[in-house]
Amino acid sequence: MTKRKSLFIDCSEAAFNCDKAQYNEASFYEKIKIHLHILLCKPCKNYTKKNTKLTKLIAKSNLKTCSEDEKKVWKEEIKNQSTK
Amino acid sequence: MATNQIDPTKWVDKYSDYLFNFTIVRVNDRELAHDLISETFLAGLKSMKNFKGEATERTWLISILKRKIIDYYRKINSKKGRAEVKINYSDDSNEGDWLEEQAPDRFDKTAEDIMENEELGLAILDCMEQLTKKQAEIFRMKTIEGLDTEAICNEFNITPSNLWVIIHRARTTLAQCLEKNWF
């Protein structure tokens, strides 16, 4: 991302706030700052767009992870089997 | 000449999430998916010498897993009557007497949507392999498992701003990768 200074906050801070907003952890004030920033800064606007899309895609894909316990069971099984 | 090496000790860490997501959309039952994957790992161990190294380890494991899933459906199908879908109007578990409530939701996902979502999930996991181990781990905990920033920070012993930088890098890499492979 280009380091173009624009009104109120710079790009790195905007990106940081934007990432936070993806996890619903940005405050109201921070959200306002993002919107002000992307009004003036095209690269950040693109980044925000992509970032939001990524969040949506991940939510849509409904990914699941296996728990550590499950992994442990598998590891044990593999270990037992390969030492036999 | 084998181009791809096989190493069972790393299977669980490297592929379990991928295999798990592959299975869960097909059998829709956590425990069953778990059992199928352990069968897959064991079968993989047994036939390790048949691995020619032409495909990647993951493709090879997936092909075993596919057989296991097919076997599972064959088995439940052979128990006659069990696999039948019984449409019973007065089912106790079905609350609501109105016909409208029992009709399928027209706005529900179509089979195509579900398939697409499944592929999408695997594509995301594919892209996550481009991340470094730490990035992938933190991104997984934050985004997929939805853990608190604080909890992750404590576990990895990093500051919140460290965490956000890692998340930011992971997100940029992922967005780029998905843009190339998905859209």
B58: in domain: yes
Q: Does B12 touch chain A (CB under 8 A)?
A: yes
The reply to whether B151 falls in a domain is: yes
Question: For residue B159, how many other CB atoms are within 10 A of its CB?
Answer: 10
| Chain B interface mutation, best of A70, A72, A84, highest count of B Cβ atoms under 10 Å | A70
Residue B143 lies in a domain: yes
Least CA distance to B38: which residue of chain A?
A74
State whether B2 and B74 are in the same domain: yes
Give residue A17's Cα distance to chain centre.
11
Q: Which helix (H) or strand (E) covers residue B152, if one does?
A: helix B149-156
- B177 within 8 A of A24, measured Cβ to Cβ: no
Per CB-CB distance under 8 Å, the chain B contacts of A2 are none
Using the Cβ of B130 and the Cβ atoms of chain A, whether some distance falls under 8 Å is answered with no
Q: Tell me what pLDDT residue B46 has.
A: 81
The last residue of a domain, from among B80, B108, B134: B80
Domain total of chain B: 2
For chain A, say whether B168 makes contact (Cβ under 8 Å).
yes
Residue range of the domain that includes B177 = 124-183
- Tell me which DSSP letter residue B86 carries: P
Q: Which of B16, B47, B80 is the last residue of a domain?
A: B80
Is B27 within a domain? yes
Contact flag B124-A58 (C-beta cutoff 8 Å)? yes
Task: Measure Cα distances from A80 to A10, A64, B8, B48 in Å.
Answer: 56, 27, 12, 15
Chain A residues bordering chain B (beta-carbon distance below 8 Å): 15-16, 19-20, 22-23, 25, 50-51, 53-54, 57-58, 60-66, 70-71, 73-75, 77-78, 81-82
Q: Decide if B182 is inside a domain.
A: yes
Task: Give the residue from B56, B80, B104 where a domain finishes.
Answer: B80
Comparing CB atoms, the residue among B38, B121, B164 nearest residue A62 is B121
Residue B100 forms part of a structural domain:
no
**Binning pLDDT at 50, 70 and 90, where does residue B80 land?**
low
For residue B182, what is the domain's CATH number?
Answer: 1.10.10.10
B25: domain CATH number? Answer: 1.10.1740
Chain A residues close to B42, C-beta within 8 Å = 77-78, 81
For B46, the token pair is 């047994």
**What's chain B's average pLDDT?**
77
Same domain membership, residue B73 and residue B148:
no
**A59, pLDDT greater than 70:** yes
Q: Are A42 and A48 in contact (CB under 8 A)?
A: no
Residue from the list A16, A65, A73 with its beta carbon closest to the beta carbon of B17: A65
Residue B92 falls within a domain, yes or no?
no
Q: Confidence band (pLDDT; 50, 70, 90) for B42?
A: confident
ipTM score for this prediction: 0.75
The answer as to whether B108 is a domain residue is no
- The pLDDT value given to residue B14: 78
Q: Are residues B67 and B1 in the same domain?
A: yes
pLDDT tens figures, B121-173:
888 888 888 888 888 888 888 888 778 888 888 888 888 888 888 989 998 89
Q: What is the identity of the amino acid at B76?
A: I
Contact between B65 and B37 (Cβ < 8 Å): yes
Longest Cα–Cα distance of chain B, Å, equals 66
pLDDT in tens, B84-125: 555 555 555 555 555 555 555 555 556 667 677 777 888 888
